[in-house]
């Protein structure tokens, strides 16, 4: 029998969006499926959320992700 590890608890501060702004928060964590799958899940989540925002005419969008690499690769 192997000892289990206790999950890490990280404290963060959630900031509300400014008036007239839409905020999209993502976390593509996929336990046990590897980093590539987590990257894919989070990337698809961001893209689909931004597509919905654009369809609704919400053009002032703030995307927040646990991993900066996802957001920094987006160019709108």
DSSP state, 71?
A: H
| CA dist., res. 23 & res. 63, Å (int) | 6
Using pLDDT thresholds of 50, 70 and 90, give the confidence band for residue 30. low
- Mean pLDDT confidence for 26-51: 78
- Mean pLDDT confidence for 21-41: 76
- Mean pLDDT confidence for 36-41: 77
The residue with tokens 């893209």 is 47
Token digits of residue 38: 């987590």
Q: Quick: pLDDT tens for 54-75.
A: 999 999 998 887 765 555 555 5
- Mean pLDDT confidence for 18-23: 92
Q: Would the pTM count as exceeding 0.75? A: no
Token digits of residue 76: 């709108």
Q: What pLDDT sits at residue 46?
A: 87
């Amino acid at each position: 029998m192997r000892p289990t590890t206790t999950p890490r608890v990280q404290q963060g501060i959630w900031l509300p969006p400014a008036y007239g702004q839409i905020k999209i928060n993502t976390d593509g964590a996929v336990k046990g499926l590897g980093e590539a799958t987590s990257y894919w899940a989070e990337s698809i989540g961001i893209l689909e959320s931004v597509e919905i925002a654009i369809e609704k005419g919400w053009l002032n969008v703030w995307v927040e992700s646990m991993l900066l690499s996802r957001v920094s690769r987006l160019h709108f």
